[in-house]
Amino acid sequence: MERPWDIDLSVYDDETQLLDGLRRRDRFACTCLLKFYAPRLLRLAGQLMGDQDEAEDVLQEAFIRACDQIDRFRGESGLGTWLHRIVVNTALMRLRARKTVSGEDVEAMISSGNEGSWQSVSSETVEPSRELLDKELMDAMNAAINRLPESLRTVFVLRDVEGMSTREAAEVLGISESALKVRLHRARIALRSEIEPYLQDRGANPLQTDRNES
C-alpha cells in the first residue's frame, strides 16, 4: 500500500492544481501541501513560539485547520500567504493563552544588556552578506530571537523577519502602532547586543579576510 509520505509530489504541477486537489479532497493533497510549505512555516512557528515542540503543535493545528477550511480560501492571496496567516494566528492564539510577559520582565530584558553587551564595533561594524550568514550566525540569530521576551519576539518576527508593515503587525497583535514601534526598538537593541559578539569574533571585515585566505 502506498504510504502517504511516499507520494510523488509531481502529481500537482503547480499551486492551482494543488488547490484543486485540496478542494476535491484528493487523498494526498493535504500531504502535498505539507511537503511544499512545512519547512518554512515550521521556522516561522518556531520563531514566534520560541520553542520547537510548541512550534510543531502550532504547525499541526494550522495544517489541520487549513485542510478543513480550504473551501474558505478565496484565492485573493497565494496559498502560501493564506497558510502563513493561519500559522501566525494559531501561534498568537496559543501565546495569548499563555501567561503574558510582565512589563517587569521586559524591563529586565532591556536592562540585562549590561555595559559589555551594549558595545558595538563602531565604524568597523561588520556588515554581513548572505554568504557570511553561515550556520553559526544563523544559529546565534535563532537563539537570540528565542531568548527575547514573547512581547518583543512576536513584534520582531512579524515586522522584521516576515516583513509585515507596522500597521499590519500592530493589527495582528492587537496593539497600537506606537507600542509596536517601541517594542521593535527594544527587540532590535537586545538582538544587536546578542549577535554582536559573534560579529566581533569574525573581525572587522571577514569577507575580505576570506578572499585573502583563498
Compute the least distance from the CB of residue 22 to another protein, in Å.
11
Burial class (CB in 10 A: 0-12, 13-18, 19+), 35: middle
Q: Is 128 left (phi over 0), alpha (psi -120 to 50) or beta?
A: beta
Instruction: Assess contact for 38 and 59: CB atoms under 8 A.
Output: yes
Min CB(176)–another protein separation in Å: 8
Considering the complex, what minimum distance in angstroms separates the CB of residue 69 from another protein? 12
Supply the minimum distance, in Å, between the C-beta of residue 123 and another protein: 7
Residue 31 is placed in which grid cell? 500531504
Question: For residues 76 and 201, which CB has a smaller minimum distance to another protein in the complex?
Answer: 201
Residue 30 CB, shortest distance to another protein, in Å, is 4
| CA–CA separation, 194 and 190 (whole Å) | 6
Grid coordinates in use for 99?
A: 501567561
- Do you know the residue count of the chain? 214
Nearest-angstrom CA–CA distance, 89 and 66:
12
**Smallest separation (angstroms) from another protein to the CB of 120:** 4
CB nearer to another protein: give 76 or 116.
Answer: 116
Task: Return the C-alpha cell found at 121.
Answer: 564595533
Residues 6+ apart with CB under 8 A from 10: none
**Given its phi and psi angles, is residue 69 left (phi above 0), alpha (psi -120 to 50 degrees) or beta?**
alpha
C-alpha cell at 208: 575580505
Q: Which residue's CB is nearer to another protein, number 95 or number 106?
A: 106
